Amino acid sequence: MFEQHDTPSPIVAGYVRRSSEMQKDNYSIDAQKRAIRDAARLRGLPEPLFFEDDERSARGEQIANRPEFKRLLEYVQANPGKVIVFVHTLDRWSRNVMVTLQSFRILSQSRTAFISLSEHIDYSTPEGMLQLTILAAFAAYFSDMLAKHTSKGKGERAAQGLYNGDIPFGFRGTGQKSPPEFDPDEFPGLRMIGEMRMQGKTAEQIADAVNAAGYRTGSKRFGARLFTIDTINAITRCEFYAAFAPGDDRGTVVYKDQRFRGQHPAAFTYEEWQRIRIGSRLNYKAPQRSEQSQRTYEFSGYVSCVHCGLNLRCKGAHPGIEYAYYKDMAKARGYDCPAGGYLQVRTDKVMQQFGELLQGLRLPAYWRDMVREKMMETAKKAGLDTEAMEREKERLKLKRGRILKQHRDGYIDDDEFEGEMAAVELALRALDMPEMDGVRLEDIIAAGERLPGMAALWQDATVEERREMVMLIFEPGGLHYDVETQEIAAITPRPTFLPVLRLLEGVTEYQEATGTLVTLRWQQRNRRDSNPRSSA
């Protein structure tokens, strides 16, 4: 049985905004705040904490451009399940559909209630939270569709020979739907860069020459700046300047590794560009790194001392010794550590021990159902009404049947049918696969299906392959190691792997340290009963 605790008071956050000088005169901000305070008082809620955006319109603006709006969303993410957001009217929140849906998705993931006073919208009830979850699913759908159509539009522009992005150095724009042309001020500098590269000059020599000639980069973000080695190399690798084919006077547009004939004039002939490419290859210098810096360690950045919490540092092998170490550097860095802060463990031993721990993963045939039931149990504790979910699923299934009949009878065309069916399927999927703390059931299932393969390949994999597995499974510093007893003490997996790794043999999870799985073997050998992590 869990101990009973008093339910903490919710945090009331009020969002207010004005967008014109006229609203300053009629005290719009004060009126919004007063209405929100009165509504909170009637519900027996505490005094609201206000977030106020001044003289900023919500129409067409991104979240990042409204500082208090953005701060409010970050605040609810930092306090999941604790905040109720009040607004006076929905247009004070946002007048842009995508911004509204994106923000509602954040509220849903943070289990944050939303109340709009004028429209009588109340997402603080179980039914309201369900509606908010569905709106969040639509936000994800519209975002994916927007990205798809944007990519399609860029692909079409490239196929028509039009460049995507900022106009490269040496050219100037002539309109959104027309190709760029030579810039008479910059084009001689561009030719200078190409000719010096064809002569075999280094990027540093070319940068010095064009800077001395008075040319500057024209970045929209940074403005006119001196040329550097990096900007010269970028220009001499940009196929925009090259003729599309031998004898062609038009340039090249590249989109997703596919070349298209551009409408803009070529700065260099096909033959000149081949010479520029040769010059670039001849002058390329790969970074020189020592053998030690190139060495890969499986748990670098992911193994920490269980006693003091500091990451263990990787120490390379000595002459005549093939193995390396993970070393506790607490003492050298001036930190206290109950284990002394100077002990170390061989890297191959840690690798072997974690492989043995992975071998303890025995997934029952019905593990997917176990994970789903656990997520539903967590959702119920968070206030999700499962009966309302089932009612909504039945409503959506009936709606799906009506859409099929309307399409069959010719009342809606194919495009409308596909859009309506996609929306219904998306909503059903959101209801069937609950999302808690930003983690979806399908992501957990995918992670669980990968784990048995990882366990089987661990011993035979290369160091680089094992490193990739560690980065997938663990949070940074998530392998808590006891350097004194030479044992894995606990692991903190990423949220997608945590529900499945709870099924590992020989690990347990405590309410005081949710998300961290403690190994029973270490508990039995641990000699520091007073250590807070040991009692976890």
CB 316 within 8 A of CB 293: no
Both tokens of 502, joined, read 């709870």
- Superfamily classification of domain 171-282: Putative Large Serine Recombinase; Chain B, Domain 2 (3.90.1750.20)
Nearest CA to 10 out of 113, 118, 151 is that of 113
At 253, which helix (H) or strand (E)? Answer: strand 250-255
Report pLDDT for 109. 82
Contacts of 472 (CB under 8 A, 6+ apart): 450, 494, 497
Contacts of 241 (CB under 8 A, 6+ apart): 168, 170, 190, 194, 235, 251, 266, 267, 268, 273
Both tokens of 250, joined, read 């038009």
Report pLDDT for 55. 58
Both tokens of 109, joined, read 């993931």
Nearest CA to 378 out of 114, 80, 106 is that of 80
The Cα 338–Cα 452 span in angstroms is 36
Contacts of 461 (CB under 8 A, 6+ apart): 469
CB 85 within 8 A of CB 73: no
Q: Is 353 left (phi over 0), alpha (psi -120 to 50) or beta?
A: alpha
Q: Which CATH architecture has domain 11-124?
A: 3-Layer(aba) Sandwich (3.40)
Report pLDDT for 261. 93
Q: Tell me how far apart the 2 most distant CA atoms of the chain are, in Å.
A: 82
Consecutive sets of 10 residues in the chain, 536 residues long: mean pLDDT of each? 53 82 54 90 92 62 77 91 88 74 81 84 67 61 62 81 88 88 93 92 90 83 76 91 92 90 93 89 58 73 90 74 82 83 91 88 82 75 70 85 86 82 77 66 83 86 90 91 91 89 80 79 65 40
| Beta bridge partner(s), residue 198 | none
| Residue 344: Cβ-neighbour burial (10 angstroms; 0-12, 13-18, 19+) | middle
